[in-house]
Amino acid sequence: MTQANPASDTPSQGLDGEATPTDRDVLAWTHTARFLTTASELHHLPATELPEIAFVGRSNAGKSTAINTLAQQKRLAFASKTPGRTQHINLFELGPKDAPDALFADLPGYGYAAVNKSAKQRWQKVMADYLDVRRSLSGVVLMVDSRLGLTDLDRQLLEFVAARVATGEVRLLVLLTKADKLNRKEADAALRAAQELLGELATEHSDVSISLFSALKKSGVADAAHVLYEWARVAPVVAQVPDSVLAGAPTNAASDAAPDAHS
């Protein structure tokens, strides 16, 4: 498990010969986010080969603010807060308009006390199904209020996706939000507590990172954008398929659709 990459604005050469993106590059990419569609049920989501990054968190954790801050847009994620859409999955497209390269999925916030039991059960089913079966899901960003830490509901949500995190198929970034409300000592303690809990999810193949984040102070924003940019560009981890099945199989469209994917 790692803390998110130290950001840099100096381009450098990676081992593969590609220039390492600067803060400016990755923030220009997140800035391209635009609303694509909204769905109240999983099967209404468009099937896609684009890597999808899901944003999840308790209501009030700062999820909408974090998405807007990453995208440097004032109202992008507030579509998710309009009446009738709060229980929906809202999709945003990123990359060039004629060649989108990733999707962000804003999932319904959870834990809002006033929600009745049937709505809670419905939420649970939508989230569990989405995290379990959405094939194009390549990463999850879990927003946690840094003053509260991971709650039981957050841990329950992580259980829905733990198996895919363990294989490395789905990557995980935990953002400890509203970090401006903590002093240095409290921030260190919040990081350590989250690290300890998330240690349970770490395996040889998993990619789990944690970062402090403040939309108010704009801290941790570029670091988070670097992580998402990277996720959108790595080749998907797919389940092993026996050679006999692959022989004569058509080309996998997923690898064609992922520009810059490392094979």
Strand partners, 172: 140, 208
Q: Which CB sits closer to ligand GDP, 30 or 177? A: 177
- Which residue is listed with tokens 């994620």? 77
Count other Cβ atoms within 10 Å, centred on residue 95. Answer: 16
Contact 87, 78 (CB under 8 A): no
- φ/ψ of 215, rounded to 5, equals -70, -35
The least distance separating ligand GDP from the CB of residue 186, rounded to whole angstroms, comes to 14
- Which residue is listed with tokens 């939309």? 215
Contact pick of 135, 181, 192, 205 for ligand GDP (by CB under 6 A) = 181
Assign 133 to helix, strand or coil: helix
Characterize the bridge pairing of strands 89-94 and 34-39.
antiparallel
Q: Which CB sits closer to ligand GDP, 50 or 77? A: 77
Contact pick of 63, 134, 226, 233 for ligand GDP (by CB under 6 A) = 63
Contact pick of 60, 73, 151, 252 for ligand GDP (by CB under 6 A) = 60
The least distance separating ligand GDP from the CB of residue 215, rounded to whole angstroms, comes to 4
Residues contacting ligand GDP: total by CB under 6 A: 16
Q: Which CB sits closer to ligand GDP, 177 or 206? A: 177
By CB under 6 A, residue 177 contacts ligand GDP? yes
- How far apart CA 162 and CA 223 sit, in angstroms, is 24
By CB under 6 A, residue 62 contacts ligand GDP? yes
The least distance separating ligand GDP from the CB of residue 160, rounded to whole angstroms, comes to 18
Contact 173, 211 (CB under 8 A): yes
By CB under 6 A, residue 214 contacts ligand GDP? yes
Q: To which H or E segment does residue 19 belong?
A: strand 19-20
The least distance separating ligand GDP from the CB of residue 214, rounded to whole angstroms, comes to 4
Q: Which CB sits closer to ligand GDP, 21 or 57? A: 57
Contact pick of 86, 180, 193, 257 for ligand GDP (by CB under 6 A) = 180
The least distance separating ligand GDP from the CB of residue 109, rounded to whole angstroms, comes to 5
Contact pick of 178, 208, 220, 227 for ligand GDP (by CB under 6 A) = 178
- Which residue is listed with tokens 């403040």? 214
Characterize the bridge pairing of strands 12-13 and 137-145.
unpaired
Binding piece for ligand GDP, criterion CB under 6 A, among 14-22, 146-154, 163-171, 174-182: 174-182
Contact 8, 23 (CB under 8 A): yes
Q: Which CB sits closer to ligand GDP, 20 or 68? A: 68
Q: Which of 92, 87, 123, 122 is nearest to 105 (CA)?
A: 92
Q: What does the buried/exposed string (b/e) look like for 23-42 if buried means 16 or more CB atoms within 10 Å of the residue's CB?
A: beebbebbebbeebebbeee
By CB under 6 A, residue 37 contacts ligand GDP? no
By CB under 6 A, residue 64 contacts ligand GDP? yes
Q: By CB under 6 A, name the binding residues for ligand GDP.
A: 57, 59-65, 109, 177-178, 180-181, 214-216
